[in-house]
Amino acid sequence: MIISKDKIQDLNQKGLAEQAESFGFLKLALDKKGVDAETIVQHLADFQVAIPSWALGAGGTRFGRFSAGGEPSTLEQKIEDIGLIHCLTQTAGAVSLHIPWDIPSDPEAIKQLADSHGIAFDAVNSNTFQNQADQTFSYKYGSLADRQQAVREQAIAHNQEVIRIGKALGSQSLTVWLADGASFPGQNNFRKSLQHTQRALQEIYSELPADWRMFIEYKPYEPYFYSTVIQDWGTSLLLAEGCGEKAFCLVDLGHHLPNTNIEQIVATLMMKGKLGGFHFNDSKYGDDDLTVGSIKPYQLFLIFNELVYGMNNNEANNPPLAWMIDASHNLKDPLEDLIQSLEAIQLAYAQALLVNTPALEEAQIQNDVVLGQELLQDAYRTDVRPLIREARLRRQGALDPIAAYRSFDVRNELVRERGLKTVATGL
Protein backbone atom coordinates (compact mmCIF):
# COMPACT_ATOMS: atom_id res chain seq x y z
CA MET A 1 0.00 0.00 0.00
CA ILE A 2 1.24 3.43 -0.88
CA ILE A 3 -0.31 6.75 0.12
CA SER A 4 0.21 9.48 -2.42
CA LYS A 5 1.30 12.94 -1.40
CA ASP A 6 -1.81 14.31 -3.10
CA LYS A 7 -4.10 12.36 -0.89
CA ILE A 8 -2.28 13.64 2.17
CA GLN A 9 -2.50 17.21 0.92
CA ASP A 10 -6.21 16.81 0.32
CA LEU A 11 -6.72 15.54 3.80
CA ASN A 12 -4.65 18.37 5.28
CA GLN A 13 -6.81 21.03 3.63
CA LYS A 14 -9.46 21.33 6.26
CA GLY A 15 -6.91 21.86 9.05
CA LEU A 16 -4.60 24.32 7.39
CA ALA A 17 -6.31 27.48 8.54
CA GLU A 18 -6.32 26.44 12.18
CA GLN A 19 -2.69 25.38 11.95
CA ALA A 20 -1.69 28.68 10.36
CA GLU A 21 -3.41 30.50 13.16
CA SER A 22 -1.94 28.51 16.02
CA PHE A 23 1.53 28.47 14.46
CA GLY A 24 1.34 32.20 13.91
CA PHE A 25 0.27 32.80 17.49
CA LEU A 26 3.06 30.66 18.89
CA LYS A 27 5.63 32.16 16.55
CA LEU A 28 4.78 35.60 17.88
CA ALA A 29 4.93 34.47 21.47
CA LEU A 30 8.33 32.88 20.86
CA ASP A 31 9.56 35.95 19.05
CA LYS A 32 8.92 37.99 22.19
CA LYS A 33 11.20 35.57 24.04
CA GLY A 34 13.86 35.91 21.37
CA VAL A 35 13.26 32.43 19.95
CA ASP A 36 13.06 31.99 16.21
CA ALA A 37 10.28 29.55 15.40
CA GLU A 38 11.50 29.05 11.87
CA THR A 39 14.86 27.71 13.03
CA ILE A 40 13.13 25.24 15.29
CA VAL A 41 10.79 24.13 12.51
CA GLN A 42 13.83 23.54 10.30
CA HIS A 43 15.53 21.46 12.98
CA LEU A 44 12.39 19.40 13.41
CA ALA A 45 12.00 18.91 9.67
CA ASP A 46 15.58 17.65 9.43
CA PHE A 47 15.25 15.26 12.32
CA GLN A 48 14.94 11.61 11.26
CA VAL A 49 14.50 8.54 13.42
CA ALA A 50 15.15 4.98 12.32
CA ILE A 51 12.41 2.40 12.60
CA PRO A 52 13.56 -1.07 13.61
CA SER A 53 12.52 -3.74 11.17
CA TRP A 54 11.32 -5.95 14.04
CA ALA A 55 8.83 -3.46 15.42
CA LEU A 56 6.31 -3.64 12.61
CA GLY A 57 4.44 -6.64 13.93
CA ALA A 58 2.74 -7.29 17.25
CA GLY A 59 5.11 -7.78 20.11
CA GLY A 60 4.54 -10.22 22.89
CA THR A 61 5.49 -11.15 26.41
CA ARG A 62 6.49 -14.54 27.77
CA PHE A 63 2.80 -15.00 28.56
CA GLY A 64 1.70 -14.76 24.97
CA ARG A 65 1.25 -12.66 21.90
CA PHE A 66 -1.91 -11.34 20.24
CA SER A 67 -1.44 -10.82 16.50
CA ALA A 68 -2.17 -7.43 14.97
CA GLY A 69 -3.26 -8.61 11.51
CA GLY A 70 -1.69 -7.58 8.23
CA GLU A 71 1.81 -7.86 9.66
CA PRO A 72 4.66 -7.70 7.15
CA SER A 73 6.23 -11.06 6.45
CA THR A 74 8.99 -10.00 4.08
CA LEU A 75 11.66 -7.35 4.19
CA GLU A 76 9.95 -5.66 1.27
CA GLN A 77 6.73 -5.38 3.25
CA LYS A 78 8.62 -4.01 6.22
CA ILE A 79 10.14 -1.28 4.06
CA GLU A 80 6.66 -0.61 2.74
CA ASP A 81 5.33 -0.21 6.29
CA ILE A 82 8.07 2.24 7.20
CA GLY A 83 7.31 4.04 3.95
CA LEU A 84 3.74 4.49 5.14
CA ILE A 85 4.87 5.91 8.45
CA HIS A 86 7.39 8.15 6.78
CA CYS A 87 5.03 9.60 4.19
CA LEU A 88 2.66 10.56 7.00
CA THR A 89 5.16 11.77 9.60
CA GLN A 90 8.14 12.76 7.44
CA THR A 91 10.40 11.85 10.32
CA ALA A 92 10.92 8.11 9.85
CA GLY A 93 13.45 8.28 7.04
CA ALA A 94 15.54 5.29 8.05
CA VAL A 95 15.31 1.62 8.85
CA SER A 96 17.41 -0.43 11.23
CA LEU A 97 17.68 -4.07 10.15
CA HIS A 98 17.94 -7.06 12.36
CA ILE A 99 19.97 -9.99 11.12
CA PRO A 100 19.11 -12.84 10.60
CA TRP A 101 15.46 -11.76 10.52
CA ASP A 102 16.02 -9.43 7.58
CA ILE A 103 18.71 -10.80 5.31
CA PRO A 104 18.03 -9.33 1.88
CA SER A 105 18.25 -11.76 -1.01
CA ASP A 106 18.83 -8.90 -3.44
CA PRO A 107 20.46 -5.97 -1.62
CA GLU A 108 20.35 -3.67 -4.65
CA ALA A 109 16.64 -4.15 -5.13
CA ILE A 110 16.00 -3.49 -1.45
CA LYS A 111 18.12 -0.37 -1.57
CA GLN A 112 16.11 0.91 -4.51
CA LEU A 113 12.84 0.10 -2.79
CA ALA A 114 13.92 1.90 0.36
CA ASP A 115 15.18 4.82 -1.66
CA SER A 116 11.85 5.14 -3.41
CA HIS A 117 10.33 5.66 0.05
CA GLY A 118 13.04 8.10 1.10
CA ILE A 119 14.39 5.61 3.60
CA ALA A 120 18.07 5.17 4.44
CA PHE A 121 19.73 2.20 6.14
CA ASP A 122 20.75 3.00 9.67
CA ALA A 123 22.57 0.68 12.07
CA VAL A 124 22.35 -3.06 11.47
CA ASN A 125 21.72 -5.27 14.47
CA SER A 126 23.14 -8.70 15.19
CA ASN A 127 21.33 -11.41 17.13
CA THR A 128 23.19 -13.84 19.34
CA PHE A 129 20.49 -14.21 21.94
CA GLN A 130 18.47 -16.77 20.00
CA ASN A 131 19.40 -19.94 18.19
CA GLN A 132 18.80 -20.11 14.46
CA ALA A 133 17.72 -23.34 12.82
CA ASP A 134 21.02 -24.01 11.10
CA GLN A 135 23.57 -22.94 13.66
CA THR A 136 26.17 -25.30 15.07
CA PHE A 137 26.44 -24.11 18.66
CA SER A 138 23.76 -22.96 21.03
CA TYR A 139 23.66 -19.53 22.66
CA LYS A 140 21.74 -20.89 25.62
CA TYR A 141 24.61 -20.12 27.99
CA GLY A 142 26.23 -17.22 26.17
CA SER A 143 27.62 -15.90 22.91
CA LEU A 144 30.45 -13.35 22.88
CA ALA A 145 30.98 -13.99 26.59
CA ASP A 146 30.66 -17.76 26.47
CA ARG A 147 33.27 -19.96 28.07
CA GLN A 148 33.61 -22.06 24.91
CA GLN A 149 35.83 -20.61 22.23
CA ALA A 150 33.79 -22.23 19.45
CA VAL A 151 30.63 -20.49 20.61
CA ARG A 152 32.39 -17.14 20.77
CA GLU A 153 33.85 -17.61 17.32
CA GLN A 154 30.45 -18.43 15.89
CA ALA A 155 29.03 -15.27 17.46
CA ILE A 156 31.93 -13.15 16.22
CA ALA A 157 31.52 -14.53 12.72
CA HIS A 158 27.82 -13.72 12.83
CA ASN A 159 28.55 -10.11 13.73
CA GLN A 160 31.08 -9.86 10.94
CA GLU A 161 28.51 -11.28 8.55
CA VAL A 162 26.07 -8.62 9.72
CA ILE A 163 28.64 -5.96 8.86
CA ARG A 164 28.96 -7.39 5.36
CA ILE A 165 25.21 -7.36 4.85
CA GLY A 166 24.95 -3.82 6.18
CA LYS A 167 27.75 -2.69 3.89
CA ALA A 168 25.89 -3.97 0.86
CA LEU A 169 22.91 -1.83 1.88
CA GLY A 170 24.78 1.34 2.67
CA SER A 171 24.53 1.08 6.43
CA GLN A 172 27.44 2.51 8.36
CA SER A 173 27.06 1.18 11.85
CA LEU A 174 26.64 -2.01 13.81
CA THR A 175 24.69 -2.27 17.02
CA VAL A 176 25.66 -5.07 19.39
CA TRP A 177 23.14 -5.91 22.05
CA LEU A 178 24.42 -8.77 24.12
CA ALA A 179 21.98 -10.76 26.22
CA ASP A 180 24.85 -12.69 27.80
CA GLY A 181 24.59 -12.98 31.52
CA ALA A 182 23.53 -15.34 34.28
CA SER A 183 20.35 -16.17 36.12
CA PHE A 184 22.06 -17.61 39.17
CA PRO A 185 25.02 -16.79 41.39
CA GLY A 186 27.78 -19.20 40.51
CA GLN A 187 26.73 -19.62 36.91
CA ASN A 188 29.37 -17.33 35.43
CA ASN A 189 32.74 -15.90 36.31
CA PHE A 190 32.10 -12.15 36.03
CA ARG A 191 35.64 -11.32 35.10
CA LYS A 192 36.12 -13.98 32.47
CA SER A 193 32.78 -13.15 30.89
CA LEU A 194 33.82 -9.55 30.60
CA GLN A 195 37.27 -10.36 29.28
CA HIS A 196 35.87 -12.72 26.64
CA THR A 197 33.40 -10.04 25.64
CA GLN A 198 36.13 -7.43 25.33
CA ARG A 199 38.25 -9.64 23.11
CA ALA A 200 35.30 -10.72 20.98
CA LEU A 201 34.23 -7.12 20.44
CA GLN A 202 37.78 -6.28 19.46
CA GLU A 203 37.69 -8.99 16.83
CA ILE A 204 34.40 -7.72 15.44
CA TYR A 205 35.76 -4.20 15.57
CA SER A 206 38.77 -5.26 13.54
CA GLU A 207 36.45 -5.98 10.61
CA LEU A 208 34.64 -2.68 10.88
CA PRO A 209 35.01 -0.56 7.72
CA ALA A 210 36.81 2.73 8.20
CA ASP A 211 33.66 4.81 7.93
CA TRP A 212 31.62 2.63 10.26
CA ARG A 213 30.86 2.90 13.93
CA MET A 214 30.11 0.18 16.45
CA PHE A 215 27.48 0.74 19.16
CA ILE A 216 27.65 -1.26 22.38
CA GLU A 217 24.34 -1.49 24.21
CA TYR A 218 23.99 -2.08 27.95
CA LYS A 219 21.15 -3.48 30.03
CA PRO A 220 20.92 -4.47 33.69
CA TYR A 221 18.73 -7.57 33.37
CA GLU A 222 16.47 -9.64 31.13
CA PRO A 223 16.58 -12.16 29.57
CA TYR A 224 18.86 -13.24 32.42
CA PHE A 225 17.91 -12.32 35.93
CA TYR A 226 20.95 -12.34 38.11
CA SER A 227 23.58 -10.53 36.05
CA THR A 228 24.22 -9.20 32.57
CA VAL A 229 27.74 -8.96 31.24
CA ILE A 230 27.26 -5.40 29.95
CA GLN A 231 25.13 -4.24 32.84
CA ASP A 232 25.51 -0.46 32.67
CA TRP A 233 27.02 2.49 30.83
CA GLY A 234 30.24 2.16 32.80
CA THR A 235 30.81 -1.33 31.44
CA SER A 236 29.80 -0.26 27.96
CA LEU A 237 32.24 2.65 28.05
CA LEU A 238 35.02 0.42 29.32
CA LEU A 239 34.44 -1.96 26.41
CA ALA A 240 34.14 0.81 23.83
CA GLU A 241 37.39 2.34 25.00
CA GLY A 242 38.94 -1.11 24.80
CA CYS A 243 37.95 -1.34 21.14
CA GLY A 244 38.93 2.04 19.76
CA GLU A 245 37.80 5.32 18.30
CA LYS A 246 34.95 3.92 16.25
CA ALA A 247 33.29 2.18 19.19
CA PHE A 248 30.58 3.98 21.15
CA CYS A 249 27.97 3.41 23.83
CA LEU A 250 24.30 3.04 23.00
CA VAL A 251 21.62 4.14 25.42
CA ASP A 252 18.25 2.38 25.40
CA LEU A 253 15.85 4.26 27.65
CA GLY A 254 14.38 1.07 29.09
CA HIS A 255 17.71 -0.47 30.07
CA HIS A 256 18.20 1.02 33.50
CA LEU A 257 17.55 0.19 37.12
CA PRO A 258 14.64 1.94 38.86
CA ASN A 259 15.11 5.71 39.29
CA THR A 260 18.32 5.99 37.26
CA ASN A 261 19.15 9.53 36.18
CA ILE A 262 19.51 8.80 32.47
CA GLU A 263 20.00 12.40 31.39
CA GLN A 264 23.15 12.55 33.48
CA ILE A 265 24.50 9.44 31.76
CA VAL A 266 23.79 11.07 28.41
CA ALA A 267 25.66 14.21 29.47
CA THR A 268 28.65 12.23 30.70
CA LEU A 269 28.92 10.12 27.57
CA MET A 270 28.69 13.15 25.29
CA MET A 271 31.33 14.89 27.38
CA LYS A 272 33.56 11.90 26.66
CA GLY A 273 32.56 11.92 22.96
CA LYS A 274 31.37 8.34 23.36
CA LEU A 275 27.61 8.45 22.87
CA GLY A 276 26.82 6.61 19.68
CA GLY A 277 23.13 5.93 19.53
CA PHE A 278 19.80 6.06 21.21
CA HIS A 279 16.95 3.60 21.49
CA PHE A 280 13.70 5.34 22.32
CA ASN A 281 10.83 3.78 24.25
CA ASP A 282 9.15 4.33 27.60
CA SER A 283 8.60 2.25 30.68
CA LYS A 284 7.24 2.25 34.20
CA TYR A 285 8.80 -0.91 35.63
CA GLY A 286 11.57 -2.43 33.53
CA ASP A 287 12.30 -2.80 29.84
CA ASP A 288 8.59 -2.40 29.20
CA ASP A 289 9.15 -1.15 25.64
CA LEU A 290 6.09 1.10 25.69
CA THR A 291 5.30 3.95 23.31
CA VAL A 292 7.81 6.78 23.65
CA GLY A 293 6.54 9.53 25.92
CA SER A 294 3.57 7.57 27.21
CA ILE A 295 4.80 7.30 30.81
CA LYS A 296 7.56 9.81 31.59
CA PRO A 297 7.46 12.65 29.07
CA TYR A 298 9.29 15.09 31.33
CA GLN A 299 12.23 12.73 31.67
CA LEU A 300 12.29 12.48 27.87
CA PHE A 301 12.45 16.26 27.66
CA LEU A 302 15.29 16.39 30.18
CA ILE A 303 17.19 13.83 28.14
CA PHE A 304 16.67 15.82 24.97
CA ASN A 305 17.79 18.89 26.83
CA GLU A 306 21.14 17.17 27.41
CA LEU A 307 21.28 15.90 23.84
CA VAL A 308 20.68 19.37 22.41
CA TYR A 309 23.18 20.88 24.82
CA GLY A 310 25.71 18.19 23.92
CA MET A 311 25.27 18.70 20.20
CA ASN A 312 25.67 22.46 20.61
CA ASN A 313 28.68 22.19 22.90
CA ASN A 314 30.55 19.37 21.31
CA GLU A 315 34.08 19.78 22.60
CA ALA A 316 34.79 16.07 22.45
CA ASN A 317 33.64 15.72 18.84
CA ASN A 318 30.90 13.28 19.61
CA PRO A 319 29.68 12.08 16.20
CA PRO A 320 26.06 12.59 15.08
CA LEU A 321 23.82 10.25 17.02
CA ALA A 322 21.96 7.29 15.59
CA TRP A 323 18.34 7.71 16.65
CA MET A 324 16.10 4.69 16.75
CA ILE A 325 12.83 3.62 18.24
CA ASP A 326 13.00 0.27 20.02
CA ALA A 327 9.61 -0.61 21.41
CA SER A 328 7.19 -3.49 21.49
CA HIS A 329 3.59 -3.25 20.37
CA ASN A 330 1.61 -5.76 22.35
CA LEU A 331 -1.74 -4.01 22.28
CA LYS A 332 -1.69 -1.25 19.72
CA ASP A 333 -1.48 -1.33 15.96
CA PRO A 334 2.33 -1.24 15.53
CA LEU A 335 2.21 1.53 12.93
CA GLU A 336 0.00 3.74 15.08
CA ASP A 337 2.25 3.06 18.03
CA LEU A 338 5.29 4.15 16.03
CA ILE A 339 3.52 7.30 14.86
CA GLN A 340 2.73 8.18 18.48
CA SER A 341 6.35 7.53 19.42
CA LEU A 342 7.67 9.76 16.66
CA GLU A 343 5.34 12.54 17.76
CA ALA A 344 6.53 12.25 21.35
CA ILE A 345 10.17 12.37 20.28
CA GLN A 346 9.60 15.47 18.21
CA LEU A 347 7.74 17.16 21.03
CA ALA A 348 10.59 16.57 23.44
CA TYR A 349 13.11 17.74 20.87
CA ALA A 350 11.10 20.89 20.17
CA GLN A 351 10.74 21.65 23.87
CA ALA A 352 14.48 21.20 24.36
CA LEU A 353 15.15 23.60 21.50
CA LEU A 354 13.06 26.20 23.32
CA VAL A 355 15.20 26.20 26.45
CA ASN A 356 16.78 29.58 27.10
CA THR A 357 20.31 28.24 27.53
CA PRO A 358 22.11 31.50 28.34
CA ALA A 359 19.57 32.36 31.02
CA LEU A 360 19.85 28.84 32.39
CA GLU A 361 23.62 29.12 32.51
CA GLU A 362 23.33 32.40 34.37
CA ALA A 363 20.80 30.97 36.84
CA GLN A 364 23.19 28.11 37.54
CA ILE A 365 26.08 30.47 38.15
CA GLN A 366 23.89 32.46 40.54
CA ASN A 367 22.66 29.31 42.33
CA ASP A 368 19.14 30.41 41.45
CA VAL A 369 17.62 26.96 41.72
CA VAL A 370 14.08 28.29 41.42
CA LEU A 371 14.83 30.10 38.19
CA GLY A 372 16.71 27.14 36.72
CA GLN A 373 13.62 25.02 37.23
CA GLU A 374 11.33 27.75 35.88
CA LEU A 375 13.34 28.00 32.68
CA LEU A 376 13.12 24.29 31.95
CA GLN A 377 9.44 24.20 32.85
CA ASP A 378 8.69 27.20 30.70
CA ALA A 379 10.01 25.34 27.67
CA TYR A 380 8.28 22.11 28.66
CA ARG A 381 4.91 23.67 29.40
CA THR A 382 4.74 25.38 26.04
CA ASP A 383 2.38 23.68 23.62
CA VAL A 384 4.79 22.97 20.79
CA ARG A 385 2.45 20.93 18.64
CA PRO A 386 2.03 23.78 16.11
CA LEU A 387 5.80 23.64 15.47
CA ILE A 388 5.76 19.94 14.76
CA ARG A 389 2.77 20.17 12.49
CA GLU A 390 4.45 22.99 10.63
CA ALA A 391 7.58 20.92 10.11
CA ARG A 392 5.50 18.07 8.74
CA LEU A 393 3.48 20.34 6.48
CA ARG A 394 6.60 21.80 4.93
CA ARG A 395 7.74 18.30 4.03
CA GLN A 396 4.27 17.43 2.73
CA GLY A 397 3.48 15.10 5.58
CA ALA A 398 0.13 14.81 7.32
CA LEU A 399 -1.08 17.46 9.74
CA ASP A 400 -2.40 14.75 12.02
CA PRO A 401 -0.70 11.45 11.14
CA ILE A 402 -2.86 9.19 13.34
CA ALA A 403 -6.05 10.67 11.94
CA ALA A 404 -4.69 10.35 8.41
CA TYR A 405 -3.66 6.74 9.01
CA ARG A 406 -7.16 5.96 10.13
CA SER A 407 -8.75 8.01 7.40
CA PHE A 408 -6.82 6.00 4.81
CA ASP A 409 -7.90 2.81 6.54
CA VAL A 410 -4.32 1.56 6.39
CA ARG A 411 -4.55 -1.41 8.74
CA ASN A 412 -7.57 -2.91 7.02
CA GLU A 413 -5.92 -2.38 3.67
CA LEU A 414 -2.83 -4.23 4.89
CA VAL A 415 -4.96 -7.05 6.23
CA ARG A 416 -6.66 -7.29 2.86
CA GLU A 417 -3.30 -7.38 1.11
CA ARG A 418 -1.47 -9.68 3.49
CA GLY A 419 -4.06 -11.58 5.44
CA LEU A 420 -5.06 -11.59 9.09
CA LYS A 421 -2.70 -14.23 10.39
CA THR A 422 0.67 -13.11 9.09
CA VAL A 423 3.35 -12.90 11.71
CA ALA A 424 6.29 -10.55 11.43
CA THR A 425 9.68 -11.71 12.64
CA GLY A 426 10.55 -10.13 15.96
CA LEU A 427 9.81 -10.71 19.59
Which residues within the stretch 317-356 sit at the binding site for its own copies (CB under 8 A)? 328, 330-333, 336-337, 340, 347
Cα separation, 404 vs 9, in Å, equals: 10
Q: For residue 353, which of 314, 391, 307 has the smallest C-alpha distance?
A: 307
For its own copies, the closer of residues 119 and 344 by Cβ is: 344
Q: Of 270, 325, 345, 404, which one interacts with its own copies (CB under 8 A)? A: 270
Asked if residue 222 binds its own copies (CB under 8 A), the reply is yes
* Only segment of 9-17, 75-83, 109-117, 217-225 that touches its own copies (CB under 8 A): 217-225
Q: In whole angstroms, how close is the CB of 61 to its own copies at the nearest point?
A: 4
For its own copies, the closer of residues 71 and 306 by Cβ is: 306
For its own copies, the closer of residues 203 and 288 by Cβ is: 288
For its own copies, the closer of residues 70 and 104 by Cβ is: 70
Q: In whole angstroms, how close is the CB of 326 to its own copies at the nearest point?
A: 13
Asked if residue 7 binds its own copies (CB under 8 A), the reply is no
Q: For residue 12, which of 388, 338, 397, 410 has the smallest C-alpha distance?
A: 397
Q: Residue 102 in contact with residue 425, Cβ under 8 Å? A: yes
For its own copies, the closer of residues 209 and 407 by Cβ is: 407
The 42-81 contact track toward its own copies, x by CB under 8 A, reads -----------------xxxxxx-x---------------
Q: Of 15, 107, 209, 220, which one interacts with its own copies (CB under 8 A)? A: 220
Query: Please, is 39 exposed, middle or buried when counting C-beta atoms within 10 Å of its C-beta (0-12, 13-18, 19+)?
Result: exposed
For its own copies, the closer of residues 116 and 373 by Cβ is: 373
Which residues within the stretch 349-378 sit at the binding site for its own copies (CB under 8 A)? 360-361, 363-365, 367, 369-370, 372-377
Q: For residue 56, which of 326, 251, 255 has the smallest C-alpha distance?
A: 326
Which residues within the stretch 386-415 sit at the binding site for its own copies (CB under 8 A)? 402
Nearest-10 Cα torsion for 51, 54, 59, 65: 160
Q: Residue 248 in contact with residue 215, Cβ under 8 Å? A: yes
Q: Residue 269 in contact with residue 216, Cβ under 8 Å? A: no
Q: In whole angstroms, how close is the CB of 10 to its own copies at the nearest point?
A: 22
Q: In whole angstroms, how close is the CB of 207 to its own copies at the nearest point?
A: 26
Asked if residue 290 binds its own copies (CB under 8 A), the reply is yes
- Distances from the Cα of 366 to the Cαs of 99, 349, 372, 374, 375, in angstroms? 52, 27, 10, 14, 14
Chain centroid offset of residue 312 CA: 21
Q: For residue 223, which of 128, 296, 330 has the smallest C-alpha distance?
A: 128
For its own copies, the closer of residues 186 and 211 by Cβ is: 186
* Only segment of 22-30, 98-106, 118-126, 206-214 that touches its own copies (CB under 8 A): 22-30
Helices and strands of the chain, counted as H and E runs: 15, 13
Q: Residue 299 in contact with residue 262, Cβ under 8 Å? A: yes
For its own copies, the closer of residues 114 and 391 by Cβ is: 391
Q: Of 39, 115, 164, 190, which one interacts with its own copies (CB under 8 A)? A: 190
Cα separation, 44 vs 367, in Å, equals: 32
Cα separation, 385 vs 354, in Å, equals: 13
For its own copies, the closer of residues 123 and 384 by Cβ is: 384
Q: For residue 54, which of 409, 326, 314, 243 has the smallest C-alpha distance?
A: 326
Q: In whole angstroms, how close is the CB of 63 to its own copies at the nearest point?
A: 4
For its own copies, the closer of residues 169 and 307 by Cβ is: 307
Q: In whole angstroms, how close is the CB of 39 to its own copies at the nearest point?
A: 20
Tell me the β-bridge partners of 175: 125, 215
The 127-146 contact track toward its own copies, x by CB under 8 A, reads --xxx------x-xx-----
Q: Residue 37 in contact with residue 27, Cβ under 8 Å? A: yes
Asked if residue 30 binds its own copies (CB under 8 A), the reply is no
